Structure 1
Amino acid sequence: MAADGDDSVHYVISDLHIGGDEQLGEVDFLDELLAFLERLATTDEDAELVINGDAFGLWEFTEVDGPAKFDILTERYPELFEQLRETGDSVPITLLPGNHDNELAAYDEYGERLAEYNVDLVRAESLTRSVGDRTIYFEHGHQRDPNNRFEDFGNPSERPLGYYYNTNVTSRAGRLSERGRFNWLKDVQAVTPTERVPSWLLSKYFYREMNPLLRYAVIPVLLLFNISVLLAVLAGLDVAGIWTMPVETADAILTRLGLVGEAVHFLLVANAAIAGVLVLAGVPLYFILRDVERTVDRFGVFEADLTVDPDEPYAAAAREVFAERPETAVFCYGHTHRPLLNDVEGRLLVNTGTWLKRLHRRDVVAGVLPPVFYPSYQLCAVRIAAEANGVAVEFEEIEKDDPGASEITRTERLLTLGRAPTPTLPDRAVVADADRDPTFESDD
């Protein structure tokens, strides 16, 4: 039974995505998760742990069906399930299905087997909990996403668009990841929004898979591409006799520098020649691609966007819940993997983030080189509790080593100098009585 009452405390985590084909089965945060569950088992609080969807990556298992996936989970992660059993002896654990593990709601066997490990599976799209004299509304959030919405909840045969993306792209990436120079392809599930996958693939190919000699030969050309295009234009004007001053001035300066000037002159001429060829080839290619894009649009091949707005659908849903249930203080969801804590009409909208790796896109400082995707972990548990002055919500950070130290090359760091991300979790906030806005408390 869930912990309710004035002193109740609710810990919330979501989007663990544990399990999947081959390399997707690696759980980089397993030690941290076990430590968190072990610590929770010793708490003196009247606590409950809510796992708010996508605890398991059941979509990412493509070679077995139904509850047979649970056999693989328990065999692969015995220490996790034993820790769930131990923690569940002391603290109620409630599991709500997400889209990746929606089939938990489709088979009675899942509920029965999870109960053996002291996990209470709620086969519903949402649930509420009391906290003080207010309530918390929980849902995973996929029902607000048209690509992952289920019209018939609990139907194991229903397949939204997101299912096909995960079985045909994410799961295949897990099977192929070890074939690369580095085991990076499995991180495709961390790329959000989905439209960034092509850019991410190009980036990882260029900085990780491309032959190093070829990469270092191409970098000067692409890094100086904008300057080289300008030089190519000036060279054309010089040859045509329209404007000779820039080229003559540059030649005079470089001549004075001796061998260094000759080397710079050679590099600039080579870059300008290559840039000129690329521009000449790129102009007709641009118009061809534009025409192809318009033709595809006429046929409506890509009418559906792959990515839902990460904020507005949930803010709108929260407003509806707050209007229908005035006692609700917190609307808590996951799904988008973005930790968030916002004020919505005097109550709080909370996203619990993800335990998966997150990727942050950063453009290079110059040229037309591929962007760099910096990895990070923002492992956290959201703690929601009643206090004397209202309902407090705070993100408890769980420390994990920065993966960028081993995954970002020196070349990537140099090309994005000063642009490395510094991800942070939201500040603590308190919802007081109904006629007062939440107060946010910074740790700074």
Structure 2
Amino acid sequence: MPTDADDRVYYVISDLHVGGDEQLGEVEALPELLAFLERLERTDENAELIINGDAFGLWEITSVEGTDKFDYLTDTYPRLFEQLRTTGDDVTITLLPGNHDHELAAYDEYVDRFAAYNVTLVQDDSFTRRVGDRVVYFEHGHQQDPNNRIEDWGNPDASPLGYYYNTLVTSRAGQLSDRGRYNWLKDVQAVTPTERMPVWLLSKYFYREMNPLLRYALVPFLLLFNVSAVLAVLAGLSLADIWSTPVEEGTAFLGQFGAAGTALWFLLAVNVAIAGLLLLVGIPLYFLRRDVRKTIDRFGVFETTLTVDAEEPYEKAARERFAADEETAIYCYGHTHRPALSEVDGGVLVNSGTWLKRLHRRDGAIGVLPPVFYPSYQLCAVRIAAEADSVAVEFEEIRKPSPSTEELTLTERLLTLGRKPDPELPDRAEIPNGRSATPPEPAE
């Protein structure tokens, strides 16, 4: 196993979330993870693999307690642990606990048990590595999240708000997922930010759980609401003697079709009346909601929401770290599941993403239909290496096809035609020896 770190190349992955109750135990990216570890095993580089938190979903394993969870993991994923052992014969593997697997920092026994598989477990909440003449700071990122911050690090009874959410909600979703018409509830961990959960549940109910006959019967009425809303506005203009031409011409046109035209006119009139009533009620409610939201924002009532701001806390932490130590030029974290790279005060802030599925919200192009959550994978590893006059930070993509064909209904696919997400990984960045980063081009 290499020990000289002067020319070491670091590969960083995070948020694998291996393990969980029942359906959560299915690791969809396991083949890609094994292939990635096998590739590292064959590398000629002086490499170190850093798993930067949430390698395992210990919070979501509620059937066993304490270090018995290690036996659960090795029994459930024998190929993964054997590959870790094999890769670790040639490549240093360092594991840092995150919030979901904070228990790894709570029991010293884990250190020896992981060492048997050639994995070095660091039981602190952060550590550093030198690359060239610069320093990389690693932390999982949950310590910057007030809802998942572990105040008493290493305490096996530590239970921030996120602990209760995952042990009571996420794990329960894994236990119930296979009871649905389609096994979709297990994707609960991919819903970020967490406040989207109610909308996601509504979407999956409508497109997956609702009786198909009922759904296909509702779709035309929901689509017709748009037309009715426009007609309601035109009817209001006609009643106010502002503009009556559209209503008069529409009535004359339908009158040509006799009883069928009368029936259609009656149907439209009912829809217009309903849409008009909803519009009249909705207008004051909109302004009321807008005023309430402004008041809430002004008082900062929701500053500590169930999820953390995607960037701001980490930019602040990176600035503080760079100011405290001039050699530190890279702040690397995970936790938010969003691959990102940005320049901060001459250094680089980099998020190593997730190996879970990602869900991209696509609001309906037409109608008042629920949004579609389009699934994809954005698997990646961050590579950090010293070059002649700089330190390079770049993302390496691990390809995995989108599961949209299998997981989206025909209705969802039709509603997202031409609107499929195409997430791109951030571009490469270089940090010259003078600690002034060459910022990457912003990704779409």
TM-score, normalized by length of structure 1? 0.91
- Could you say which residue in structure 1 is the equivalent of 2:133? 133
- Could you say which residue in structure 2 is the equivalent of 1:360? 360
Q: In structure 1, what residue type is equivalent to 2:129?
A: R
Shift in Å at residue 301 of structure 1? 10
SS at structure 1 position matched to 2:150: coil
Matches of 1:63 and 1:284 in 2, distance apart? 50
Distance 1:262 1:322, change over 3 A: same
Matched, 1:28 2:28: yes
- Could you say which residue in structure 2 is the equivalent of 1:394? 394
Q: In structure 2, what residue type is equivalent to 1:314?
A: Y
| Contact 2:341-2:440 within 8 A present in 1 as well | no
| Contact 2:98-2:140 within 8 A present in 1 as well | yes
Shift in Å at residue 92 of structure 1? 0.7
- Could you say which residue in structure 2 is the equivalent of 1:329? 329
Listed one character per residue, the Cα deviations across residues 133-175 of structure 1 (whole Å, up to 9, x for unaligned) are 1111100000000000011100011100000010111111101
Shift in Å at residue 212 of structure 1? 1.3
Q: In structure 1, what residue type is equivalent to 2:339?
A: P
Shift in Å at residue 415 of structure 1? 2.3
SS at structure 2 position matched to 1:383: strand
| Contact 1:51-1:96 within 8 A present in 2 as well | yes
SS at structure 1 position matched to 2:440: strand
- Could you say which residue in structure 2 is the equivalent of 1:72? 72
Larger deviation, residues 419-428 vs 349-358: 419-428
- Could you say which residue in structure 2 is the equivalent of 1:195? 195
Q: What do you get for the CA RMSD once the two structures are aligned?
A: 3.1
Q: In structure 2, what residue type is equivalent to 1:111?
A: V
User: Counterparts of 1:80-159 in structure 2 under 5 Å?
Assistant: 80-159=80-159
SS at structure 2 position matched to 1:64: coil
Larger deviation, residues 183-192 vs 277-286: 277-286
Q: In structure 2, what residue type is equivalent to 1:386?
A: A
Shift in Å at residue 292 of structure 1? 12
- Could you say which residue in structure 1 is the equivalent of 2:252? 252
Matched, 1:216 2:204: no
Matches of 1:136 and 1:106 in 2, distance apart? 25
Distance 1:301 1:391, change over 3 A: closer
| Contact 1:365-1:417 within 8 A present in 2 as well | no
Matches of 2:380 and 2:291 in 1, distance apart? 47
Structure 1 residue runs without a partner (length 5+): none
Q: In structure 1, what residue type is equivalent to 2:17?
A: H
Listed one character per residue, the Cα deviations across residues 102-131 of structure 1 (whole Å, up to 9, x for unaligned) are 010000111111111111000001111111
Listed one character per residue, the Cα deviations across residues 53-97 of structure 1 (whole Å, up to 9, x for unaligned) are 000000001122111111111111000000000000110100000
- Could you say which residue in structure 1 is the equivalent of 2:408? 408
Matches of 2:443 and 2:361 in 1, distance apart? 26
Q: In structure 1, what residue type is equivalent to 2:113?
A: R
- Could you say which residue in structure 1 is the equivalent of 2:183? 183
Shift in Å at residue 19 of structure 1? 0.3
Identity %: 70
- Could you say which residue in structure 1 is the equivalent of 2:54? 54
| Contact 1:221-1:271 within 8 A present in 2 as well | no
Q: In structure 2, what residue type is equivalent to 1:19?
A: G
SS at structure 1 position matched to 2:89: helix
Matches of 2:168 and 2:366 in 1, distance apart? 35
Matches of 2:292 and 2:329 in 1, distance apart? 50
Matches of 2:357 and 2:393 in 1, distance apart? 23
User: Counterparts of 1:40-51 in structure 2 under 5 Å?
Assistant: 40-51=40-51
Matches of 1:105 and 1:228 in 2, distance apart? 60
Distance 1:302 1:313, change over 3 A: closer
Matches of 2:241 and 2:382 in 1, distance apart? 69
Matches of 2:229 and 2:127 in 1, distance apart? 59
Structure 2 residue runs without a partner (length 5+): none
Shift in Å at residue 325 of structure 1? 1.2
SS at structure 2 position matched to 1:440: coil
Matches of 2:429 and 2:306 in 1, distance apart? 32
Residue-pair matches, total: 442
| Contact 2:15-2:337 within 8 A present in 1 as well | yes
| Contact 2:342-2:440 within 8 A present in 1 as well | no
Matches of 2:315 and 2:7 in 1, distance apart? 28
Listed one character per residue, the Cα deviations across residues 180-230 of structure 1 (whole Å, up to 9, x for unaligned) are 100001111100111000000001111111111111121122223233123
Distance 1:86 1:235, change over 3 A: same
| Contact 2:133-2:433 within 8 A present in 1 as well | no
| Contact 1:224-1:366 within 8 A present in 2 as well | no
SS at structure 2 position matched to 1:34: helix
Q: In structure 1, what residue type is equivalent to 2:421?
A: P
Listed one character per residue, the Cα deviations across residues 266-285 of structure 1 (whole Å, up to 9, x for unaligned) are 66345435535655787899
- Could you say which residue in structure 1 is the equivalent of 2:433? 433
| Contact 1:329-1:391 within 8 A present in 2 as well | no
- Could you say which residue in structure 2 is the equivalent of 1:6? 6
| Contact 1:24-1:171 within 8 A present in 2 as well | yes
- Could you say which residue in structure 2 is the equivalent of 1:380? 380
Matches of 2:113 and 2:259 in 1, distance apart? 76
Matches of 1:284 and 1:135 in 2, distance apart? 56
Shift in Å at residue 331 of structure 1? 0.6
Shift in Å at residue 3 of structure 1? 5.0
Matches of 2:320 and 2:2 in 1, distance apart? 25
Distance 1:218 1:442, change over 3 A: closer
Q: In structure 2, what residue type is equivalent to 1:129?
A: R
Q: In structure 2, what residue type is equivalent to 1:96?
A: L
| Contact 1:4-1:131 within 8 A present in 2 as well | no
Matches of 1:392 and 1:263 in 2, distance apart? 70
Matches of 2:372 and 2:405 in 1, distance apart? 14
Distance 1:440 1:247, change over 3 A: closer
Matches of 1:194 and 1:134 in 2, distance apart? 36
SS at structure 1 position matched to 2:349: strand
